[in-house]
Amino acid sequence: MFEGQPRGLYALALANTGERFGYYTMLAVFALFLGANFGLTETMSGEIYGDFLMLVYFLPVVGGFLADKFGYGRMVTIGILIMFAGYLLLSVPLGGDTFALIVMLIALVLISLGTGLFKGNLQVMVGNLYEDPQYADKRDSGFSIFYMAINIGAMFAPTAAIKIMQYAQKSLGYSVNDSYHFAFAVACASLVLSIIIYYVCRNSFRHTEGGKIKEQGTKNKEQAASDELSPEETKQRMVALGLVFAVVIFFWMAFHQNGLTLTYFADQFTAKSSTGIQSMLFDIWNLVAVVVIVYGLFSLLGGKSGKERGIAGGVLVLAAAYLAWKYNSLPASTDISAPIFQQFNPFYVVALTPVSMAIFSYLAKKGKEPSAPRKIAYGMVVAGVAYLIMICASQGLATPDAQKTLGDSAMRVSPNWLISTYLILTFGELLLSPMGISFVSKVAPPKYKGLMMGGWFVATAIGNKLVSVGGYLWGGLSLTIVWSVFFGVCIAAALFMFAMMKRLEKVAK
């Protein structure tokens, strides 16, 4: 899966991994921080959470517009610097008064703006790597690898947030409220790592950065002409992208409940401890060992030499021995903190990406691989199934408002329900997100690449704004109603996508 990819892919992926690690460390505890530090209700916390996510994913359209004029690389660098300033403000413990709230909101705006300049433009640069004909057929697999790298950072984020907060409380004597700021400070350090990786490895992707308008004017005229599409072709592509953007709004509305209502469910309705094999899932290093086993198996089965297969076999034995040792060393019970559940989605992405790529590679050889638009539609259906699991998990449970009054007598369910839900959501994500980004980079008219990648993020932004719907539903309503809303929008969006399939597949060829 890694063979034949351009060198610049790995450099850009690692730079993004560092940034995403910091972002998801902050996001793992953000909704809980709003309630603990400022005393905000779930509804108000959901509103701020949704608005923040909306800005994070809306501002890439501004970043894309600027990058089309001044260069992608320049916007990426400026974006990292602005993000750093935002995380630095968020890292300062100022208490829970109005001044602290204002500073926090300013920090969120800076983080959003910096992300808008960084995230979309970095992905355009990844897409530009595949303009070279020798890499053209590797575009989808390249974006899958890039997406996997993002999630390596996200996988470690919840554990990092929890551990640094525990250290601040137990070793440094900080209050719970102040300890949240230590989790936010992790993001500052991760951005430093990202910018170092970016500049050390820059030679491998410098040709994708673009430049100023006057520099673009020196472009070979024949190449410029070949980049041009007819007005009709441009219109068809823009309409197709608009249809895809309309659908993914509802995916992100449902998917990003992981930081809101699914986290509330983990905090209020899920068991606070675990035992046996199940408890091993809440140790990040056990999950890393599982990832090593997955990749080791692929290397063992696909190795081109005896030496390669021998190394893979040795790694498999070591990883399995490590898991056996951890199992024999299990404590009687393992405490579970609500943010830790957010590690499962990125873990599944990292572990399942080679499986997904192998399946689609096999289908491609048979001439049966679904088109990118069809994969997106299937992703919506799968996301709906995830919320069917939550409907089943919630049978017999009280409403969130009633649950708070029950105290120790409140009924709590097995962590397996959320673990399973994240697994199914991840299948949907793997079908939709990397394929959607690849589709945009392929179909977008050349002179609108940055803008159209920004459009993908605007759709994501609208979906993230709608995440706050979960906050409004959370309270007096039955949990079955809450999850049914997200099930319904996913299935409705999938049906719309299937209805538009011929038009979408026409431009995807």
Structure confidence at residue 225 (pLDDT): 43
Listed by start position, the domains of the chain span 7-213+231-272+336-508, 273-335
Structure confidence at residue 11 (pLDDT): 87
Q: What is the pTM of this model?
A: 0.78
- Encode 170-185 in three state secondary structure: HCCCCCHHHHHHHHHH
DSSP sequence for 394-437: TTTPPPHHHHHHHGGG---B-THHHHHHHHHHHHHHHHHHHHHH
CA 457-152-260 angle, to 5 degrees, is 55
Could you count the other beta carbons within 10 Å of the beta carbon of residue 316?
A: 18
Q: Which amino acid is at 14?
A: L
> What value does the CA radius of gyration of the chain take, rounded to a whole number of Å?
23
Distance CA 500, CA 284 (A): 41
Structure confidence at residue 280 (pLDDT): 95
Distance CA 256, CA 461 (A): 11
Whether the CB-CB separation of 286 and 280 falls below 8 Å is answered with: yes
Whether the CB-CB separation of 1 and 148 falls below 8 Å is answered with: no
**371: which DSSP letter?**
P
Report residue 396 CA to chain centroid gap: 32
Structure confidence at residue 82 (pLDDT): 94
Structure confidence at residue 361 (pLDDT): 81
Tell me the CATH class for 7-213+231-272+336-508.
Answer: mainly alpha
Structure tokens at 422: 């994240």
Per-residue pLDDT of the chain (509 residues; tens, 9 = 90+): 566 788 888 888 888 888 888 888 888 888 888 888 898 888 888 888 888 888 888 888 888 778 878 888 889 889 999 999 999 998 888 888 899 999 999 999 999 999 889 887 888 888 888 887 777 777 777 877 887 887 888 888 888 888 888 898 988 888 888 888 888 888 888 888 888 988 888 888 888 887 544 344 444 443 444 456 788 888 888 888 888 898 889 999 999 898 789 999 999 999 999 999 999 999 999 999 999 999 888 888 877 788 888 888 999 999 999 999 999 999 999 999 888 898 899 899 889 888 887 888 888 888 888 888 899 999 999 999 999 999 999 999 999 999 988 887 889 999 999 999 999 999 999 888 878 877 887 888 877 776 787 788 788 888 888 888 998 899 889 999 999 999 999 999 999 999 988 888 887 67
Distance CA 231, CA 52 (A): 36
Structure confidence at residue 218 (pLDDT): 42
Structure confidence at residue 2 (pLDDT): 63
Q: What is the dihedral of CA 36, 42, 47, 52, to 10 degrees?
A: 40
Q: Which amino acid is at 140?
A: D
- CA-closest candidate to residue 490, choices 403, 379, 399: 379
